[in-house]
Amino acid sequence: MGTPSTASGVLVVDKPAGLSSFAVVRCARRAFGGAKVGHTGTLDPLATGVLPLCIGEATKIAGLLLAGDKVYRATAELGRVSDTGDSTGCVTPGPDPARVATLDPETIERALSAFRGSISQVPPAYSALRQGGRRAYELARAGETVVLEPRTVTLHELRLEQWRPPQLELWLHCSKGTYVRSLVRDLGAALGCGALLTALRRERSGPFSLAQAVPLAAITAETRDRLPLIDLDAALPHLPAVELALSDLQRLRWGQVLSCAAPPADPVRVHCAGTLVALGQVAEGTLRVRRLLAAAWTVPGVPAEREPPRPEALAAGEDGMPH
């Protein structure tokens, strides 16, 4: 793999069709010499588009990037169904394929209206959700019965972009946890003819868009130092920020609770000298560290002591910090 890279940040990849999200992670890990790499939510192998990868130190914030809304462009075929909900599964005719010839945009629009806003959705059996401690897709592939509980998701916008029988194209802005395969499956059921997903492109995930995305083929050991990594601070624009005095940084490093006049929030970005040094929690007039970042140890003017002073030194004020 070569020398591990010390780079940190979020790399937005334009995932190609046919690869799993984990395969994309493996490719990036090789390019960065075995450095830590993680993704912020899977895309099915069929899907293409925005897949944000957390490189190095950015893996510490991966969990905070899962909750963002998503934007997709989806292509579905009416009149056929499959066990996976898309064209990669076992495809069979829908309940009434002949009905497709009778459909028009107005009929499809009426059906779509039931899926706008907050809806209850049953995830597909072939998904990475767990049932009894095992992945649902593992159980489904083994021929076992998969029963997943419905979940509430929100479709903020849902538009019919094109209708060319038997295919239609949808554009949707949805909450996290929305399965487009389930949406297409349920739309086909509502229209009485069945439907399956044939193409899916993610145009946005949280704050990350296709305009920032890099083709997977462009991510190599030779190009890694020129790739447009988004720093941790810029990747979390939705979180409130708290500015920390230099005199308080050492205490924050040691996990001590600091007084804070900022409004309650969890999590918050904690800055010191213009640098993101930690993620914290503000509650009841105090600031607690939730996750200390490597940058906290490199702020100029603050000694990088890893252990707090002895209690007797604290009493004498030898650490130079206010008490």
Q: Per residue in 93-117, pLDDT tens?
A: 999 999 999 999 999 999 999 999 9
Residue 80 shares a structural domain with residue 200: yes
44 is catalytic: yes
Query: Would you call 262 exposed, middle or buried from its count of C-beta atoms within 10 A (0-12, 13-18, 19+)?
Result: middle
Domain range for residue 291? 241-306
The per-residue pLDDT for 323 is 35
pTM (2 d.p.): 0.86
Residue 321's pLDDT is what? Answer: 39
Options 14, 44, 86, 248, the catalytic residue: 44
pLDDT confidence of residue 10: 96
Distance of alpha carbon 112 from the chain centroid: 26
The confidence score (pLDDT) of residue 2 equals 64
Residues of the chain with pLDDT under 50: 311-323
Tally the domains of the chain: 3
The pLDDT value given to residue 281: 94
The answer to whether residue 296 is domain-embedded is yes
Tell which of 192, 226, 260 closes a domain.
226
Looking at the structure, tell me whether residues 109 and 187 fall in a common domain.
yes
Kindly tell me the burial class for residue 259, based on how many C-beta atoms sit within 10 Å of its own C-beta (0-12, 13-18, 19 or more). Answer: exposed
In a domain, residue 256? The reply is yes
Q: What is the pLDDT of residue 320?
A: 39
Looking at the fold, whether 105 and 177 belong to one and the same domain comes out as yes
